[in-house]
Chain A
């Protein structure tokens, strides 16, 4: 199956700083990428949808100025958590899909963010 990577796999940062998470489709071109967030013992919650070359579409309740998403190429999307606070600590997961993945979505391994 198609492979999606995320970097870093875990990160610890201080409150008030910004953190960038990368999501890459390694062996296919991803026209669409999704970002999810998962708090402990909860299910995945969709944060935003990004299409290559377009502005991301955010779900209700997700602050677009706080969670900056860039999808500048068919193999890379980035999520930047700006001015992070402890309540932003979570497991962030991306998924990607496109014609060359047979239009199915494949998930990255996730990034564990801890804000101290």
Chain B
């Protein structure tokens, strides 16, 4: 799997948009970009994934650059409950493939 690089930590004010960047310059053509988050002492939660087009769901938006070497996860209106570690992972789609968790970005949403 391609490796990813994320900032170790970020802060965001409640109600503002949180933009979490991820670099994945060695991503292969058949690898997707996945985002998961882990709230303290809980299992990871799936957020969103995409191949090359931008994606949006009820939780977040995923913006992937045209060259696919980087992406940004956007939480449009961060709440205190969004405080978590966010993991950007690239891998081939399909449940037969494990997720390789890096160190992620620790997002702190402040009042």
Contacts and interface: CB of A to CB of B under 8 A. Distances in A.
A, B: real partners: yes
B46 A44 contact: no
A107 B43 contact: yes
Nearest to A59: B98
A106 interface: yes
Interface string A1-18: 100101000000000000
Interface range, A side: 20 to 34
A109 B39 CA distance: 10
Question: How would you classify the secondary structure of chain A's contact residues: helix, strand, loop or mixed?
Answer: strand
Among the interface residues A95, A97, A108, which one has the most CB atoms of the partner chain B within 10 A?
A95
Contacts of B100: 46
A46 B98 contact: yes
Contacts of A49: 98
A97 to B, nearest CB: 3
A32 B45 CA distance: 18
14 contacts: A6-B43, A31-B95, A32-B95, A32-B96, A43-B87, A43-B103, A44-B99, A45-B101, A46-B99, A95-B43, A97-B94, A98-B95, A101-B95, A110-B42
Interface of A: 1, 4, 6, 30-32, 34, 36, 43-46, 49, 51, 91, 93, 95-98, 101, 103-110, 112
